[in-house]
Structure 1
């Protein structure tokens, strides 16, 4: 969880904003904007991305305000600091939108299907296992589906043997989310990636 301490100048909502952001690692980062910028001189990038050179901070702020924009410090660990003329409201919106997209992408787990038959050849089985491992390495779950045709179901133990062999070859890279079970003319199981935390414990 992040905690924000915000100071505001009484003359303008965005004239003086200074964020102290403390994250879970107790690292503090700062965002300085307009009169919150401490340096007397700054290297300025205009709204189009063109470098304007080194200007007095007051001059750069006035230039930004003349366009109805803000001066944002984007690189603070150089001398002079690098600042950009931006629409700060739009900038914050884009930052938050990108953060949400990244988080959603990280949390997205898909389930891929791998279909096999009870009489699958050894070479084909190796290819199916290779594909399943690739899906797991990509962070996806894998549903293995073995289907019987016609009278094959009367020898369902062959299907179970094939599924157990598949599971045995996958346990080094995955964990069982739903173990082998039969429904109708199909036997299936679901495998999931091993979490980093679990792999560290092991």
Structure 2
């Protein structure tokens, strides 16, 4: 299998068309000119002649620009957009069906901090041994968490029993 072709924009002598629509560095159309005239204009202005339309277009559209500067600014824009993008993280808090009120309040504060940081939070209630017979205690606990956080969080995944764990996922409420 052949390697994939790179998407290369033809510049200067790589342009195959004999006539082209020339656009100067300010974005003004100069009209249809021959390739030799366009290359001479590019050399005089110390710029590159860059094909901006497909090679099937009639006539091919080319623009005068500093191609190295164009690539640099394009790369810089991509990297800055990656830097600014905030990724949501899935955090997890574990409860037991017999979690006392003091521990519950501490874990609730931690969940609030996760939600305020715009992170999704997975809340799990883990059952040991015969505690699984009283899974309604875990369900009551998750419903209490859901009610306590109803102003800042919404339920993304309703409570569900998976093995010996009762799981629920909360996400921050989207602000308008």
Q: Same fold (TM over 0.5)?
A: yes
Matched, 1:6 2:34: no
Matched, 1:130 2:103: no
State the match for 1:152 in structure 2.
131
Matched, 1:99 2:120: no
Deviations 1:48-68 (A, max 9, x none): xxxxxxxxxxxxxxxxxxxxx
Q: Using structure 2 for the length normalisation, give the TM-score.
A: 0.60
Describe how 1:69-148 pairs up with structure 2 within 5 A. Answer: 88-89=69-70, 91-102=72-83, 105-106=85-86, 108-148=87-127
Structure 2: which 5+ runs fail to align?
1-25, 31-37, 49-64
Give the whole-Å Cα distance in 2 for the aligned partners of 1:12 and 1:135: 56
SS in 1 for 2:121: strand
Give the whole-Å Cα distance in 1 for the aligned partners of 2:28 and 2:143: 63
Contact 1:8 1:15 (C-alpha < 8 Å) held by counterparts: no
More strand by share: 1
Give the whole-Å Cα distance in 1 for the aligned partners of 2:111 and 2:75: 37
Q: Using structure 1 for the length normalisation, give the TM-score.
A: 0.53
Describe how 1:169-188 pairs up with structure 2 within 5 A. Answer: 169-188=148-167
Structure 1: which 5+ runs fail to align?
18-35, 37-69, 71-86, 198-202
Deviations 1:150-199 (A, max 9, x none): 111111121111111111111111111111121221111111111113xx
What is the aligned length?
125
Once superposed, which parts of structure 1, at least 4 consecutive aligned residues long, lie more than 4 Å away? 7-10, 13-17
SS in 2 for 1:172: coil
Give the whole-Å Cα distance in 2 for the aligned partners of 1:136 and 1:116: 17
CA root-mean-square deviation: 3.0
